[in-house]
Amino acid sequence: MTKITAIIPTLNEEIHISNAIKSVSFADEIIVIDSFSKDNTVALAEKHNVKIIKRKFDDFSSQKNFAIDQAKYPWIYILDTDERVTPEVENEILEAVKNPKDFVGFNVRRTFFFCGSKINYGGCQRDKVIRLFLKEHCKYSGVVHERIVANGKVGFFKNKIDHYSYKSYDHYISKMNHYGQLRAQQFFEEGRTVNLFHILIKPPARFFIHYIVRLGFLDGFPGFVFAKTQAYGVLTKYIKLWLLNRNATNER
């Protein structure tokens, strides 16, 4: 049977890391690539049979691609620390590796949990990612919302993994600030500017899309909070871009 390397990128994930590693215990090799966590992430990971690589974070794609290059085996399974592979998906992974049917990668859908509540709508019903793939045919691209670029056919698993995306509202806001800074820096380097449309129209539009168009209201109050935080993420990104542009102008 062809072997699998599981890769888990980490930064201050002591709450998740042990369960994340157990979730991919089916893999023949597990790599934890850590961006110099300041909590107990690495110490907890060392209690398991894993290979730990420490690398300064530059962007999500570079971090994951670096880890992929270190993998021993041709099949890669990428696991974010807040994801859990269910037994049903594990069976599909092992079957796919044994009999890939000309596919170079496989999409999997995720059951999304937000601050302890299961979110069924708001766009989460369409959430999917490529998690299993052949490293010689697939690489990551993109600074923040990185995605796999696959050179070949991509299949689809029937079952879902669990995605415990945000432990608390504060955890969500901290991640939005981090993602917003990365995306703002990318836009700044591309020479983009900010106007009132980005500040006054785009955030409410994002809320409307998640809460109304994508049926977030069916999830009750958690659906409302989820849609509001999506809008906050948009606003944060453009405020940070405005600050970068202003600081650059002042320095001139």
pTM of the predicted model as reported, rounded to 2 decimal places: 0.81
Structure tokens at 118: 């299961």
What pLDDT does 33 receive?
98
In the chain, the domains with their CATH numbers are 4-166 (3.90.550.10), 169-251 (no CATH)
Contact 103, 34 (CB under 8 A): no
Q: Can you count the helices (H) and strands (E) in the chain?
A: 8, 11
For 82-122, how does the pLDDT look when each residue is reduced to its tens digit (9 = 90+)?
999 999 999 999 999 999 999 999 999 999 888 788 888 88
What pLDDT does 72 receive?
97
First to last CA, the chain: 61
Rounded-to-integer distance, Cα 11 and Cα 113, Å: 20
Contact 130, 138 (CB under 8 A): yes
Contact 179, 222 (CB under 8 A): no
Rounded mean pLDDT, 161-173: 80
For 58-71, how does the pLDDT look when each residue is reduced to its tens digit (9 = 90+)?
888 999 999 999 99
Rounded-to-integer distance, Cα 143 and Cα 174, Å: 18
Rounded-to-integer distance, Cα 202 and Cα 118, Å: 26
